[in-house]
């Protein structure tokens, strides 16, 4: 893996400022990480505002979530670990809490959303045309990260191309090879899910 801890810290701080400017991380919500090697990552600590991150608010853990320094990791760190273990080629994970993701997943009762016919779908890896369907799973929100990760693992077995997932009434998890691409995936999905929410509102008026 080609990224130093120092570089990872700087990319995470910058991502936090950007996500805050978009309104995707209210209060202390969300967490962000970058893979450092085969079994470690830099990840935001628990309970801090992500728009004003400092280097001290980022820590190193292994992929069992065990801190490699004396700082407190968030419970959701385990979901980052699960994604890195599941997707060895992935280099960064962003977890956001936006209004569209929260409202839409409370309104839609299904266990997934299909995104179809949008030009922006071409942002997702391996997709050349807008003429495709992208399936974004929705998991029931839970504080039991082990059980949640088991559900994520099961969905990936069935749908290995899954580009992101949602937690109901909670937020979005997105990933890609590096932080720049992960930011593109988050921005594209937030746009697409906002479109879905606006469509739902129009259909109800």
To Zn ion, the closest distance from the beta carbon of 133 in angstroms equals: 27
Stretch touching Zn ion by CB under 5 A, among 5-13, 19-27, 47-55, 164-172: 164-172
> Which SS3 state, helix, strand or coil, does residue 15 take?
helix
Least distance (Å) from Zn ion to the CB of residue 37? 25
Using an 8 Å Cβ cutoff, are 19 and 50 in contact? Answer: yes
Segment interacting with Zn ion (CB under 5 A) among 11-19, 169-177, 178-186, 191-199: 169-177
Cα–Cα distance, 202 to 57 (Å, whole number): 42
Which listed range, 104-112, 132-140, 165-173, 188-196, lies at the site for Zn ion (CB under 5 A)?
165-173
The residue among 35 and 80 lying less far from Zn ion, judged by its C-beta, is 80
| Assigned token pair, 13 | 């701080």
Under a CB-based contact definition with an 8 Å cutoff, are residues 117 and 127 in contact? Answer: no
Asked if 167 and 97 count as a contact pair (C-beta separation under 8 A), the reply is: no
Q: Looking only at residues 133 through 162 of this chain, which bind Zn ion when binding is defined by CB under 5 A?
A: none
Total residues contacting Zn ion by CB under 5 A comes to 1
- In the complex with Zn ion, which residue's Cβ is closer, 137 or 171? 171
In whole angstroms, how close is the CB of 138 to Zn ion at the nearest point? 14
Shortest reach from residue 155's CB to Zn ion, in Å: 18
Q: What is d(CA 94, CA 72) in angstroms, rounded to the nearest whole number?
A: 18
Looking at beta carbons only, is 73 or 121 nearer to Zn ion? 73
The nearest distance, CB 112 to Zn ion, in angstroms, is 19
Q: Rounded CA gap, 35 and 12, in Å?
A: 11
- In whole angstroms, the minimum distance from the beta carbon of 103 to Zn ion comes to 15
* Rounded Cα distance, 42 and 148, in Å: 22
Helix (H, G, I), strand (E, B) or coil at 126: coil
Stretch that binds Zn ion, among 20-28, 52-60, 147-155, 170-178 (CB under 5 A): 170-178
The answer to whether 73 touches 46, Cβ cutoff 8 Å, is yes
Sites of contact with Zn ion (CB under 5 A)? 171
């Amino acid at each position: 893996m080609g990224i130093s801890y120092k570089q990872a810290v700087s990319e995470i701080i910058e991502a936090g400022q950007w996500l805050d400017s978009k309104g995707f991380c209210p209060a202390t919500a969300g967490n962000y990480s970058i893979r450092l090697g085969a079994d470690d990552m830099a990840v935001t600590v628990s309970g801090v505002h992500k728009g004003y991150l400092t280097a001290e608010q980022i820590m190193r853990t292994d992929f069992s979530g065990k801190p490699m320094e004396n700082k407190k990791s968030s419970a959701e760190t385990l979901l980052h670990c699960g994604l890195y273990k599941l997707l060895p080629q992935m280099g960064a994970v962003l977890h956001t809490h936006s209004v569209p993701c929260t409202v839409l997943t409370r309104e839609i009762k299904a266990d997934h959303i299909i995104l179809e016919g949008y030009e922006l779908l071409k942002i997702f890896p391996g997709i050349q045309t807008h003429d495709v369907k992208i399936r974004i799973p929705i998991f029931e929100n839970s504080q039991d990260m082990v059980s949640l990760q088991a559900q994520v693992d099961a969905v990936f077995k069935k749908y290995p191309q899954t580009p992101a997932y949602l937690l109901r009434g909670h937020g979005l998890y997105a990933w890609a090879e590096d932080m720049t691409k992960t930011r593109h995936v988050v921005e594209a999905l937030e746009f697409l899910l906002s479109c879905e929410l606006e469509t739902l509102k129009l259909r109800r008026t």
